[in-house]
Amino acid sequence: MSELFNLLSDMHVLTLLLVLPLAGAIITFLSGSKVKAAKVIALTFSAITLALATLLLLAYPYGQTITSAFQFSFVDNIPWIQSLGISYAVGVDGISVPMVFLTALLCFLAIVFSWDVKSRTKEYMGLMLVLEVGVMGVFMSIDYFLFYIFWEVVLIPMFFLIAIWGGPRREYAAIKFFIYTHVASLVMLLAILSIYFNAASILGYNTFSMVTIGSVGPAFAVGFQSVMFLALFFGFGVKMPIVPFHTWLPDAHVEAPTAGSVLLAGLLLKMGAYGIIRIAMPTLPSGAQDWQWLLIVIAILSILYGAFAALGQKDLKKMVAYSSISHMGMVLLGFATFTTIGVAAGVFQMFAHGLITAVLFMVCGIVQHIAGTRDIPKLGGLAAKMPYYATFVMIGFMASLGLPGLIGFAAEFPIFYAFAWMNGVWNWWILLPIISVAITAAYYIWSMQRSLFGPLTDKIDTSHLHDVSWYEAAPLVALSALIILFGIFPNLIYQYITPVANGILSFMGVL
């Protein structure tokens, strides 16, 4: 173990990663009426958090041998509600470390990107940091109760971000988002309670520890596992979202402010996928195998439905929103293969999609801001007036459609590979998700061609068009750099994920 590892362990780095943004949020809320002060405080705290998360990424011993699905580092464990067996327990492994890093990165960039928010800046910045606490907490909790608390805490800031700073139909979208995801959470809660009591009767004592419950998971009755897996899959799936429970997503995305969309697509959707790979699959191995066919069918359905729906959109942001459904379907397909390559690539796709979708929503926000509309038919020829903007759009679109050399390809290709070569009757089904590659390329290239190239549009006033501002360009440059870096060297991230993916699958007994 390196010195950095020991240093971070002694610092209780995970708790610090939760406390820092929380403290930042409280200070931001309490800061005076100065707009600038709130922004600077929020930026400072998110920057320190990002620095710490980067150190965590560097210090995590990815080379270690993983023998189980539940092998965590940097663990902090403090008993909390003893009579129910609840602890404040946090820890990270090779799957959560990249997600924690992604969370810190996107929150920091979203705050930079929101530099021009003028209405109720203090609340806006504070809520961003609260959201960061919630998402971080989800990715590092190793106690079911704690996990659920962070899972629900995320809803409140996102509800306000959409409801206060959103578009014209923001109130409808905010309440729809809140209720859809809350119903799903409650179903998940019911499943967690059942698992808790079942584990307790096997163990002889009650605990909400993911590690302990996970260790007795294979001993659960087969029928019980089957039902519980379905309940958890629903709970996590709505958040992902999976077709047919996706309808909150286009509404929420279209109405949310840009930074809200970035965090919604970049982080909140990942929570759903994370729940499936962290909890549902390893804890209920035979349940997962019972429903493998359903995972595959729903994954393919989401991939195709998302792609075709995106093809039909006129609103650039709605198109990106539907593309998220398609790409999250890809994550699920990777998981459903039950192969090391597939699962690892699914997690990698979570990471990749987080970076790419942030770029996509940012460019949507910029065009809305500068041109006053996101309607693809009204735009055209923007590249001539906004060359930098056009570059960022191209990087984002190309990464998303899976151009080799960019991060999207490094995620999607192994998923297709794993699905095509997995055991069983599914081999020829690969043709279905493959179709989506063509559809995805079609909607991106077509929309790019219509909005960026060709003659300058005369449907909107183009006299005041200007290129991106510094606070818009800076996050885009950073994200683009990472998209290219991890596109060329995907192993930088895969080296974290693959051993854990292998550990989870061998724990499930499916390798």
Task: Give residues in contact with other proteins (CB under 8 A).
Answer: 80-85, 145, 148-149, 152-153, 155-156, 159-160, 163-164, 170-171, 174-175, 178-179, 182-183, 186-187, 189-190, 193-194, 196-198, 200-201, 204-207
Minimum distance between the CB of residue 498 and other proteins, rounded to whole angstroms? Answer: 34
Question: Quick one: 141 or 302, whose CB is closer to other proteins?
Answer: 141
Question: Quick one: 62 or 160, whose CB is closer to other proteins?
Answer: 160
Question: Quick one: 188 or 331, whose CB is closer to other proteins?
Answer: 188
Minimum distance between the CB of residue 200 and other proteins, rounded to whole angstroms? Answer: 5
Minimum distance between the CB of residue 117 and other proteins, rounded to whole angstroms? Answer: 16
Contact yes or no for 351/435 (Cβ under 8 A): no
Spatial CB neighbours of 266, under 8 Å, sequence gap ≥ 6: 102, 106, 353, 354, 355, 357, 358, 361
Give which of 227, 329, 207 is closest to 272, Cα–Cα: 329
Task: Give kind and range of the element (H or E) at residue 91.
Answer: strand 86-92
State the amino acid at position 299 in one-letter form: A
Question: Quick one: 186 or 485, whose CB is closer to other proteins?
Answer: 186
Give percent helix, percent strand, percent coil of the chain, each to the nearest 5. 75, 5, 20
Question: Quick one: 74 or 165, whose CB is closer to other proteins?
Answer: 165
Q: Which residues of 67-76 are buried (b: 16+ CB within 10 A; e: fewer)?
A: ebbbbbbbeb
Contact yes or no for 454/380 (Cβ under 8 A): yes
Give which of 210, 254, 285, 510 is closest to 373, Cα–Cα: 254
Minimum distance between the CB of residue 182 and other proteins, rounded to whole angstroms? Answer: 5
On the 0-12 / 13-18 / 19+ scale of CB atoms within 10 A, 101 is: buried
Cis (ω within 30 of 0) for the bond into 244?
yes
Could you tell me where the DSSP H helices lie in 116-247? 121-140, 144-153, 155-165, 170-203, 210-216, 222-239
Give which of 340, 346, 317 is closest to 433, Cα–Cα: 346
Question: Quick one: 197 or 446, whose CB is closer to other proteins?
Answer: 197
Angle 268-271-277 (CA atoms, 0-180°, nearest 5)? Answer: 155
**SS3 call for 92:** strand
Structure tokens at 394: 């191209």
Minimum distance between the CB of residue 246 and other proteins, rounded to whole angstroms? Answer: 18
Contact yes or no for 85/211 (Cβ under 8 A): no
Question: Quick one: 82 or 463, whose CB is closer to other proteins?
Answer: 82
Question: Quick one: 174 or 406, whose CB is closer to other proteins?
Answer: 174
Minimum distance between the CB of residue 508 and other proteins, rounded to whole angstroms? Answer: 25
Residue 474 exposure: Cα atoms within 13 Å on the Cβ side: 13
Per-residue DSSP letter, 268: I
Minimum distance between the CB of residue 91 and other proteins, rounded to whole angstroms? Answer: 20
Question: Quick one: 191 or 359, whose CB is closer to other proteins?
Answer: 191
Minimum distance between the CB of residue 139 and other proteins, rounded to whole angstroms? Answer: 17
Structure tokens at 373: 């509309």
Minimum distance between the CB of residue 138 and other proteins, rounded to whole angstroms? Answer: 12
Question: Quick one: 129 or 355, whose CB is closer to other proteins?
Answer: 129
Q: Please give the backbone phi and psi of residue 91, each rounded to the nearest 5 degrees, phi first.
A: -170, 160
Question: Quick one: 161 or 406, whose CB is closer to other proteins?
Answer: 161
Angle 294-439-424 (CA atoms, 0-180°, nearest 5)? Answer: 30
Minimum distance between the CB of residue 157 and other proteins, rounded to whole angstroms? Answer: 12
CA distance 303 to 296: 10
Angle 267-273-279 (CA atoms, 0-180°, nearest 5)? Answer: 120
Minimum distance between the CB of residue 190 and other proteins, rounded to whole angstroms? Answer: 6
Angle 87-91-93 (CA atoms, 0-180°, nearest 5)? Answer: 150
> What one-character-per-residue DSSP string does 69-89 give?
S---EEEEEEEEEGGGTEEEE
Minimum distance between the CB of residue 208 and other proteins, rounded to whole angstroms? Answer: 11
Minimum distance between the CB of residue 231 and other proteins, rounded to whole angstroms? Answer: 10
Per-residue DSSP letter, 9: H
Question: Quick one: 183 or 484, whose CB is closer to other proteins?
Answer: 183
Question: Quick one: 33 or 65, whose CB is closer to other proteins?
Answer: 33
CA distance 422 to 169: 44
